[in-house]
């Protein structure tokens, strides 16, 4: 995965290419070449591309990896304080906790806004069980609450619903 320094280098090369396209476009406009307006469009595109690459060099693109976490899918996100992730029913309590911690770290963003008086994000983990043929039931296995004030949160509160996790091991009819 490219790092911020890689994107900075890409933006430098793209900036050089943008300058070359700009010089070519100016020369084409002066000498009234037939493809001069195509060069103006290409120069505009290169400016946008360079700006995008430079912005990617400013923001870290890192994902947290917690040992023991399993793959999850984002099911619901209100872009503020509530998110729900889903995973398979074959999960243990330690995997639930690790997955919740990983999701809380990966889903954090400076752009999330807390609601009035609530400056913490809640991530809930669920799975779907099938107690009988033709019936699907969502089952919430736990949740984690973290602050939205800073990226590093050492005081995350993890709640595991052990009674719900115990339902996963019960045989279905």
Is the distance from CB of 85 to CB of 122 less than 8 angstroms? no
In a domain, 173, yes or no: no
Q: Which domain holds residue 46?
A: 4-58
Is the distance from CB of 146 to CB of 101 less than 8 angstroms? no
Q: Do residue 53 and residue 133 come from a single domain? A: no
Q: Do residue 45 and residue 126 come from a single domain? A: no
Q: Do residue 101 and residue 145 come from a single domain? A: yes
Quick: pLDDT tens for 98-107. 999 999 999 9
Token pair 């330690």 in the structure block, residue: 94
**Distance from C-alpha of 145 to C-alpha of 104, rounded to nearest angstrom:** 8
- Model pLDDT, residue 62: 72
- Model pLDDT, residue 114: 65
- SS3 state of residue 147: strand
When pLDDT is cut at 50, 70 and 90, the band that residue 117 belongs to is low
Quick: pLDDT tens for 10-69. 999 999 999 999 999 999 999 999 999 999 999 999 999 999 999 988 876 677 889 999
DSSP structural state of residue 141: E
How far apart, in Å, are the Cα atoms of 90 and each of 22, 124, 129, 170? 57, 17, 10, 12
When pLDDT is cut at 50, 70 and 90, the band that residue 112 belongs to is confident
In a domain, 63, yes or no: no
Is the distance from CB of 127 to CB of 89 less than 8 angstroms? yes
Q: Do residue 31 and residue 84 come from a single domain? A: no
Strand partners, 137: 129
- Rounded mean pLDDT of 85-93? 96
**Distance from C-alpha of 72 to C-alpha of 102, rounded to nearest angstrom:** 10
Which of 107, 102, 87 is closest to 164 using CA atoms?
Answer: 87
Q: Do residue 88 and residue 54 come from a single domain? A: no
Is the pTM higher than 0.85? The answer reads no
Helix, strand, coil in percent for the chain, rounding step 5:
40, 25, 35
Report the domain count for the chain: 2
Is the distance from CB of 122 to CB of 140 less than 8 angstroms? no
**Distance from C-alpha of 121 to C-alpha of 80, rounded to nearest angstrom:** 7
């Amino acid at each position: 995965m490219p790092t911020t320094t890689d994107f900075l280098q890409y933006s430098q090369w793209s900036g050089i290419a943008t300058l070359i396209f700009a010089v070519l476009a100016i020369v084409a406009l002066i000498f009234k070449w037939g493809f001069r307006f195509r060069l103006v469009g290409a120069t505009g595109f290169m400016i946008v591309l360079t700006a995008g690459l430079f912005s990617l060099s400013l923001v870290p693109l890192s994902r947290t990896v917690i040992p023991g976490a399993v793959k999850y899918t984002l099911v619901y996100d209100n872009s503020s304080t509530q998110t729900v992730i889903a995973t398979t029913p074959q999960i243990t309590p330690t995997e639930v906790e690790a997955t919740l911690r990983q999701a809380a770290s990966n889903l954090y963003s400076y752009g999330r806004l807390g609601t009035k008086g609530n400056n913490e994000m809640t991530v809930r983990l669920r799975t779907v069980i099938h107690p009988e043929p033709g019936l699907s039931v969502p089952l919430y296995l736990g949740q984690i609450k973290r602050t939205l004030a800073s990226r590093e949160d050492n005081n995350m509160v993890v709640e595991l619903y052990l009674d719900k996790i115990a339902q996963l091991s019960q045989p279905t009819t």
